[in-house]
Chains A and B, each alone.
Chain A
Amino acid sequence: MTPRFLTPKELALLSLVQNELVPSYGDLPPAGTLGAALTVDAYLAEQPRLRRPVLTTLRAIEVRSGKTPFAELDAGRRVEVLRKVEDSDPESFSELVKQTYNAYYTRPDIQASLGIDGPPQPLGFELPAFDESRLSRVRAMGKLWRDD
């Protein structure tokens, strides 16, 4: 699928970065492999205020990677680069992390892996009824309010 806002190169970099931010877990692939970059691309197309921090962070990652492109760094070096970029501009970096989480945790398959059957409505949840007997100690405390 073609991105709506990012260039294909930016999209590919974002996807690799996301694989480090939210790595694989058990059978679950990492965020980038799951397609979180395209979802973030859609957010960027719709919410202009997100563009500056995300693009700034992607550029900083390219610069910090030095002569070897981020894609060719080994896993340890990638994380090192990301930590350095985070330290130099935590606000922009945290926006990229936030949008990655947004893309990842709104997926029904990821929610299912956390035991979530579906959105809150229309089913809601059944909770046990309130148990008044638990109040006996407090009831015995007597008047606690002041009106003198």
Chain B
Amino acid sequence: MPAPEHDSDVLIVGSGASGAAAAWSLSRRGLRVTCLEQGRWVDQSEYAHSRPDYELARQTSFAKDPNVRGWAEDYPINNSGTPIHPLMVNAVGGSTVHWSGHFPRMRPSDFRVKTLDGVADDWPFTYWDLEPFYDLNDSMVGVSGLAGDPGNPPRSPRQTPPLAFDAGCEAYLRGLEKLGWHWWPCDNALISEPFGENRSPCNCCGPCDIGCPIGAMSSAHVTYWPKALAQGVQLITHARVEQITVDRAGRATGALYYDEQGVRQSHSAGVVVMAANGVGTPRLLLNSTSAIFPSGLANNSGIVGAYLMFHPVALVSGVFEEVVNGQRGPIGGLMNCQEFYETDLSRGYVRGFELQLSRNVGPLSVANGGILGHPVPWGSGHHEALRSRYAHTMTTSVMLEDLPERENRVTLDSELTDAHGIPAPRVEYRLGENTQRMLEFGIARARDLFEAAEAVEILVDPLVRESGWHLMGTCRMGDDPESSVINGWGQAHECPNLFVIDGSTFTTSAAVNPTSTIQAIALRCADWLGRNYQEVAA
């Protein structure tokens, strides 16, 4: 048998939410798939949940900002040009290793904002095109929740039931019922009952944001990766990709990367799939310059890195007289209120937001400012103040749709590099006017909610600096090569055997957490690529 032309059929860069899903899907079709991941497997022993000082992990080894966490596998990010700091995890499973697992879907209108509201652009496909892949993804990862939300199209039964209805829910409900607003128990990427292999159902321990030690959280390293590896995918960890290589015709040929020993290696493939997230992917493409792509791979349009979207977030906390024990149960997922989701121009802005009615944190994090950054004062009143907040506070995120703006972007920093000397990303971002108006309106509604719920104190962080959880739009999808980097199948307009499948693909951001959509897109693109591999790789 002749030796294969390439080291792999498909090379995936990044093993996070999207890379894991695509690795599973492509290998199912018998393709030889390799994934290069700069991070490592996070070891069970690293989780802090069984130690009394577990809350310190938020400030140190499991900090969400890579610049603070400083793992050897992290790369630095120049944040000086943005009020919102990008957050991520660089490990097998990517940023789903420690996250909150909120798993809402986008609504049909989110894919058609130009047609419906005259802003930004429509996506190159509709909600209904993506729906089967949302369902497939849910069935792979395991979701807790309840079908039947009138705020969203009907969906398949959730794999496991919603988690709990405790004192915190009662407090929220007091407000919601008085105001007559929409709410529904969140879909969460975690299992409340047995599901999958080597996973235990959530036991409501609380701090999911520093990882889940029992595999209840549906993170990519416990959902897709065991299955993808069983199907023969080669996952190379500690492999930091420096650039994607191209031939003279401008087709992707593979990647150059540094291995665990710091030795530069190359890997060739018929197709390259980028899954390094909304910051990592544009960074790598911009760093992949060649005669045919002098400004970076697939970037003769100048759009790679542009149109960066976060979900700007304000946090509003309500302190209650009664004990609500917000520190018990998964920190993120409780209830969603989508009363203000669709456009209503009388509110003074276009598009909308959701209120994520969430829980809270333990005493140390409360003392240090809680989720909001309002530290409990030191001195004579300290203990009373701490005791009035700890176990008495619930926190709501006002999560907005961020409209794409060309000036908001990821570029390469001219000085900063990672440990291998590869230029680090620089993020430039400012809030648009529409966003600012919506933020004010949203904060006022969250206050209304807590007032109606009879909170005795309301605390506000009007724009959370550490809220760049959702990195979107930097290699946007579209039909027009002048205004987008990839088509609706993730295929680069300028380089037909290069695909992008991560958060960078988003044409617009919607106002919900993106990962169920990121994974559905990854599965849809991988499905198309799997069916058309011979043609694409030829």
- Please indicate the chain A residues that have their CB under 8 angstroms from the CB of B205 in the complex: 120-121, 123-125
> Does A147 make an interface contact (CB < 8 A)?
yes
> Does A131 make an interface contact (CB < 8 A)?
yes
B375 touches A94 (CB 8 A): yes
Given A124-B203, A146-B107, is A107 in contact with B162 using a C-beta cutoff of 8 Å?
Answer: no
A102 touches B166 (CB 8 A): no
Shortest A100–chain B CB gap in Å is 8
- Please indicate the chain A residues that have their CB under 8 angstroms from the CB of B204 in the complex: 124-127
B150 touches A142 (CB 8 A): yes
B49 touches A121 (CB 8 A): yes
- Please indicate the chain A residues that have their CB under 8 angstroms from the CB of B378 in the complex: 20-22, 97, 100
Docked Cα-Cα span, A10 to B499, in Å, equals 58
- Please indicate the chain B residues that have their CB under 8 angstroms from the CB of A143 in the complex: 150
B49 touches A120 (CB 8 A): yes
> Does A134 make an interface contact (CB < 8 A)?
yes
- Please indicate the chain A residues that have their CB under 8 angstroms from the CB of B165 in the complex: 127-131, 134
> Does B207 make an interface contact (CB < 8 A)?
yes
Interface size range on B against A: 35 or more
A144 touches B108 (CB 8 A): no
Secondary structure dominating the interface of B: loop
Closest A residue to B210 by beta carbon equals A120
Q: Encode B194-231 as 1/0 by CB contact (under 8 A) with A.
A: 00000000111111000001100000000000000000
Closest B residue to A96 by beta carbon equals B378
> Does B148 make an interface contact (CB < 8 A)?
yes
B52 touches A107 (CB 8 A): yes
Given A25-B383, A134-B173, is A105 in contact with B367 using a C-beta cutoff of 8 Å?
Answer: yes
- Please indicate the chain B residues that have their CB under 8 angstroms from the CB of A23 in the complex: 379-380, 382-383
> Does B278 make an interface contact (CB < 8 A)?
no
Shortest B118–chain A CB gap in Å is 14
Contact partner of A120 (CB less than 8 A), chosen from B151, B183, B206, is B206
Q: Encode B123-157 as 1/0 by CB contact (under 8 A) with A.
A: 00001000000000000000000101011110000
Closest A residue to B364 by beta carbon equals A105
Interface size range on A against B: 35 or more
Residues in B362-417 with C-beta less than 8 Å from chain A: 362-364, 367-368, 375-376, 378-380, 382-383, 387, 390-391
B375 touches A97 (CB 8 A): yes
> Does A139 make an interface contact (CB < 8 A)?
yes
Docked Cα-Cα span, A20 to B328, in Å, equals 31
Shortest B167–chain A CB gap in Å is 9
> Does B534 make an interface contact (CB < 8 A)?
no
Given A23-B379, A142-B150, is A128 in contact with B166 using a C-beta cutoff of 8 Å?
Answer: yes
Shortest A32–chain B CB gap in Å is 12
A127 touches B328 (CB 8 A): yes
B53 touches A121 (CB 8 A): no
One of B8-16, B54-62, B279-287 contacting the partner = B54-62
- Please indicate the chain A residues that have their CB under 8 angstroms from the CB of B387 in the complex: 114
- Please indicate the chain B residues that have their CB under 8 angstroms from the CB of A145 in the complex: 107-109, 150-153, 341-342
A20 touches B146 (CB 8 A): no
Shortest A76–chain B CB gap in Å is 11
A120 touches B54 (CB 8 A): yes
Shortest B511–chain A CB gap in Å is 13
- Please indicate the chain A residues that have their CB under 8 angstroms from the CB of B185 in the complex: 130
- Please indicate the chain A residues that have their CB under 8 angstroms from the CB of B173 in the complex: 134
> Does A137 make an interface contact (CB < 8 A)?
yes
- Please indicate the chain B residues that have their CB under 8 angstroms from the CB of A146 in the complex: 107-109, 116, 342
> Does B182 make an interface contact (CB < 8 A)?
yes
- Please indicate the chain B residues that have their CB under 8 angstroms from the CB of A105 in the complex: 55, 362-364, 367
> Does A132 make an interface contact (CB < 8 A)?
yes
Given A111-B52, A116-B363, A125-B205, is A130 in contact with B109 using a C-beta cutoff of 8 Å?
Answer: no
Shortest B509–chain A CB gap in Å is 17
Shortest A15–chain B CB gap in Å is 15
> Does A71 make an interface contact (CB < 8 A)?
no
B50 touches A138 (CB 8 A): no
A106 touches B56 (CB 8 A): yes
Shortest A146–chain B CB gap in Å is 4
- Please indicate the chain B residues that have their CB under 8 angstroms from the CB of A147 in the complex: 108-109, 127, 153
Q: Which B positions have Cβ atoms within 8 angstroms of A?
A: 47, 49-56, 59-60, 107-109, 116, 127, 146, 148, 150-153, 161-166, 169, 173, 177, 180, 182-185, 202-207, 213-214, 325, 328-329, 338, 341-342, 362-364, 367-368, 375-376, 378-380, 382-383, 387, 390-391
Q: Which A positions have Cβ atoms within 8 angstroms of B?
A: 20-23, 25, 47, 79, 82, 94, 97-98, 100-102, 104-108, 110-111, 114-116, 118-132, 134-135, 137-139, 141-148
* Closest 4 pairs (CB-CB, A-B): A124-B203, A127-B164, A120-B205, A106-B53
